[in-house]
C-alpha cells in the first residue's frame, strides 16, 4: 500500500499527541487521532495516570471523543492513526467502533522495550478461565439470563 503525504501528516499529529500527553504528564507516550473525510475529528492521548483511569488509553480517548462528536457509537468512514500498535483493550475498542482502517507507528515490541508489555494479556486470553492469574468466578447466571432474554425480545432496541 502506498502511503500518502496526507496520511504521514495525520500520523505526525498522532505522534505529536503522544509527545504532548507525555510531556504534560497526562500519561504514557501514546497518541491517536481519528480522521473522517480527510479532516481530523478527534484526538486523544494516554491519560491513565492523570485521570486514574486504566482505560484512558489514547485510542479509547480518541474513540470516545469522535463518537461524541459524530453522535454515533460507530466510526463508519473513519480512519484511526495511532502512535503505537494498539494494546488488546484498544484493539477490542477499535473493532467495536468499526473504523475503515487503522494506521500505527511504533510496534508492540517497541512498546515492550520501554516497559509497556501486553504479552501477559495475550497469554492470559489463551488460558482456561480457571487458570488465569485473576480468578474469574461465575455466579447467578440464571438470574442474569433473564436480562438477556428480555433484550432478545425488546422491540425498541438499537442493534450494534
Mean pLDDT of the chain: 96
pLDDT of res. 160: 83
Position 90 scores a pLDDT of: 98
Contact indicator for 31, 20 with CB cutoff of 8 Å: yes
In which band, very low, low, confident or very high, does the pLDDT at 108 lie, cut at 50, 70 and 90?
very high
Task: Determine the pLDDT at residue 151.
Answer: 94
Taking residues 105-110, what's their average pLDDT? 97
Q: How far, CA to CA in Å, does 87 sit from each of 5, 25, 92, 95?
A: 26, 20, 9, 12
Encode pLDDT of 134-151 as tens digits.
Answer: 999 899 999 999 999 999
State the catalytic residues: 59
Percent helix / strand / coil, the chain, rounded to 5: 50, 15, 35
**For residue 64, what pLDDT band results from cuts at 50, 70 and 90?**
very high
What pLDDT score does 159 carry?
Answer: 85
- The residue that leads in pLDDT, 130 or 35, is 35
Q: What is the mean pLDDT of residues 114-125?
A: 94
Of 4-8, 66-70, 89-93, 118-122, minimum mean pLDDT range: 118-122
Between CA 98 and CA 85 the distance in angstroms is 16
Confidence of residue 75 (pLDDT cuts 50, 70, 90): very high
Residue 94's pLDDT is 98
Amino acid at each position: 500500500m502506498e502511503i500518502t503525504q496526507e496520511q504521514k501528516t495525520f500520523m505526525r499529529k498522532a505522534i505529536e499527541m503522544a509527545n504532548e500527553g507525555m510531556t504534560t504528564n497526562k500519561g504514557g507516550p501514546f497518541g491517536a487521532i481519528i480522521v473522517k473525510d480527510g479532516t481530523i475529528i478527534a484526538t486523544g492521548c494516554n491519560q491513565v495516570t492523570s485521570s486514574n483511569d486504566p482505560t484512558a488509553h489514547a485510542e479509547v480517548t480518541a474513540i470516545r471523543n469522535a463518537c461524541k462528536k459524530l453522535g454515533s457509537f460507530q466510526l463508519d468512514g473513519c480512519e484511526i492513526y495511532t502512535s503505537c500498535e494498539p494494546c488488546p483493550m484498544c484493539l477490542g475498542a477499535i473493532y467495536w467502533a468499526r473504523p475503515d482502517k487503522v494506521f500505527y507507528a511504533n510496534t508492540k515490541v517497541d512498546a515492550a522495550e520501554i516497559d509497556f508489555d501486553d504479552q501477559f494479556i495475550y497469554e492470559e486470553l489463551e488460558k482456561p478461565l480457571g487458570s488465569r492469574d485473576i480468578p474469574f468466578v461465575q455466579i447467578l447466571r440464571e438470574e442474569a439470563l433473564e436480562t438477556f432474554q428480555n433484550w432478545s425480545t425488546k422491540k425498541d432496541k438499537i442493534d450494534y
